[in-house]
Chains A and B, each alone.
Chain A
């Protein structure tokens, strides 16, 4: 009864919101929050396609699980980096982390 398009639009919106967060927040941790939102949107997309496509092949769900794993790994490493940078530079404002500037 629920058309696929609703899920997809939902995931698109969630993705865009996450993108906005990743692009516009000052704090490095907040940026990672945005990234998490984007990954979640992807997951919704995958599972929706699993459900509305060939639901006997579990590819969609498996993919979603992999995404989970990757997201977890990425978050842990990312936050470890942020913490490490914070210890050195005493800041987590992304704009101030510009040591790779020319």
Chain B
């Protein structure tokens, strides 16, 4: 089958899976997950075939797989939509397919397939145990099939976004994922916190989406097209760079780039629209892995990567991008060190790592950003799934012990390396990858490249900020690992935790393989010793996406040393500090500012939420809706009544009833009274009358007809 057709087909299996599960297989849990995983497998297969074929093509960047159809007639032209797989999207497709498949498989075990139904489980609330042979065991999720339906739809959205060749379908996939994030974060809709988190996520990303849509509209109005290949031609890019947009002194390209970037700020949870991501931990862990590692947040970075030729035209926009990226990286890292919930740490870690990628893009380090995107997807998904495995084991322990403690609080864990070895080792490798442990983890290679690019092109502030953030990253990662796995078990629940089933551990192992090996496809050429042994495939491949193939940065020892120092130093320090910390009171970094996320939620609440709520309740609801609209409506009743009675009293009764109705009767009566004497019964009178009329009529006839 020609590759283009295959590309069109890649997003379809998850969509079909969604509809099948929703319409037909909802009651049958086994059938539902089979359909979903089968669909994920099909998409994975299609993606792999496309990827392999793409690898085999010389100068793939100049001859990508692309096909488009005329879709929307716009006057004399057509708005085209289609598919495009160039090196960038081939790479992204690769990791999306793998991580999606792994997460789907993981979800089977996570939602306790095979376990009995809970004692008093209610759809909408997380399951809390069934009694089996006298003791409590984990119970199967009541809304099992629904979950698979939603993540299938999610996968569909992401795949549509990746394969699309134009901004419109990209935005469609974007929005579908936004919807699914709402559905999935609020999966346990019985929980108040989940509901709020879902709304928060949707609203915050929506803000970004509105600006993105403005950017798309502006772009369309200037260029008349939304297809990437048509926009990224010399002429159009040049035009966009020249036309002033009139706002902030930006050129058209700059403004469009800025608006599109704001969409990414929302979707990838950068400052200031980062507030939704930690709350999104309310969703089940596979969701967190999906949204915050593999797909949704990656979509934001992917969008910037995609539009890089456009965004990079204006230096002001790039400066803003770099600033926000670097700032967010550091900002989120400072919060992560004070979090106690195992998933929250990872959430802030994601925000921070995305900041790295965005900062890299801001300093024109295209390949480095793409590289870090891919490696991050693998190891972050690994870390989230690992944390889910930990929580799963902890929950089992909680049920066993009967005490209700928070299974996600790291201070309730400890010593889990013995209880859950596979989880431990995979989590460790993932954590090392996140910290940038040298040489053997993918994270090292990608992070190092970013730092090297920053230093090598003279962006010292970005370099410094990212270095500090990298240090903190390693620090809090080691803190997390120490508190969770090392040392002794701190609670009974941790004591009774045990390893999770194969459906959950196999994905962990697979992702670990990628977390280790993927870095080796991107070794810079001038790296001491190792550079040059294997060609820097990643740089060549992904770099060829751009018209002007970016140059690899010259090797400099300073960024290398810096990254070694921050990685190892952070890991070491984290271990040393936290191996003796067993209670939150002992943790010196539980500073309230950090713990409360720099009070941003509270600030937003005061500045935005409360006024808007007040406005909505008082102005819109009370004043406008109740007062104005209802008032107007309530006017209609009496007004119509008044009008009706006016019509009745001034028109109906006097005119219709009296004048016409009674009037005609009276007229008839009166004329009868007057005419009655004519019929006197006297023949002679009749005769005289008839003769008179005869004369009159005859005379008239005579004069008008005969004379």
User: B676 contacts A94, CB within 8 Å?
Assistant: no
Q: Which of B205-213, B589-597, B603-611, B683-691 contacts A (4 or more CB under 8 A)?
A: B683-691
Interface pair A94/B684, CB less than 8 Å apart: yes
Q: Which residues of B contact A31 (CB under 8 A)?
A: 683-684
Would you call A98 an interface residue if the criterion is a C-beta within 8 Å of the partner chain's C-beta atoms? Answer: yes
- Tell me if B681 and A97 are in contact (CB < 8 A): yes
Task: Check: A54 CB closer than 8 A to any chain B CB.
Answer: no
Asked if A39 lies at the interface with its beta carbon under 8 angstroms from chain B, I say: no
Q: Judge whether A22 and B687 touch: CB under 8 Å.
A: yes
Tally A-B pairs: CB < 8 A: 30
Per the bound structure, the CA–CA distance linking A84 and B683 in Å amounts to 17
The total of chain A residues at the interface (CB under 8 A) is 13
Report yes or no: B684 in contact with A101, Cβ–Cβ below 8 A. Answer: no
Say yes or no: B680 contacts A98, CB within 8 Å.
Answer: yes
Say yes or no: is A102 at the interface (Cβ < 8 Å to chain B). yes
- Provide the residues of chain B in CB contact with A102, threshold 8 Å: 676, 679
Contact A23 B682 (CB under 8 A): no
> Which label, helix, strand, loop or mixed, suits the secondary structure of the B interface?
helix
* Cβ A94 vs Cβ B679 within 8 A: no
Asked if A101 contacts B687 (CB within 8 A), the reply is no
Q: Does A76 contact B (CB under 8 A)?
A: no
A100: B residues at CB distance < 8 A: 679, 681
Question: Distance (Å) between the CB of A14 and the closest chain B CB?
Answer: 17
List residues of chain A with CB within 8 A of the CB of B680: 98, 101
- Nearest A residue to B679 via CB reads A102
Residues of B within 8 A of A98 (CB): 680-682
Task: Please report the C-alpha to C-alpha distance between residue A95 and residue B688 in the assembled complex, in whole angstroms.
Answer: 14
B468 to chain A, nearest CB (A): 120
Contact between A101 and B679, CB atoms less than 8 A apart: yes
Nearest residue (CB) in B for A24 is B684
> A80-102, CB under 8 A of B: which get 1 and which 0?
00000000000000110111111
Distance in Å from the Cβ of A17 to the closest Cβ of chain B?
A: 15
Closest CB of chain B to A37's CB: distance in Å? 15
Q: B682, A95: Cβ atoms under 8 Å? A: yes
Cα A68 to Cα B189 with chains together (Å):
117
How distant is the Cα of A100 from the Cα of B681 in the complex, in angstroms? 5
A-B contact list, 26 entries, CB within 8 Å: A19-B691, A22-B684, A22-B687, A23-B684, A23-B687, A23-B691, A24-B684, A94-B682, A94-B683, A95-B682, A95-B684, A97-B681, A97-B682, A97-B683, A98-B680, A98-B681, A98-B682, A99-B681, A100-B679, A100-B681, A101-B679, A101-B680, A101-B681, A101-B682, A102-B676, A102-B679
Q: Which 7 A-B pairs have the closest CB atoms?
A: A98-B681, A101-B681, A100-B681, A102-B676, A102-B679, A23-B684, A98-B682
Known: A94-B684, A95-B684, A99-B681. 5 other contacts (CB 8 A): A22-B687, A95-B682, A98-B682, A102-B676, A102-B679
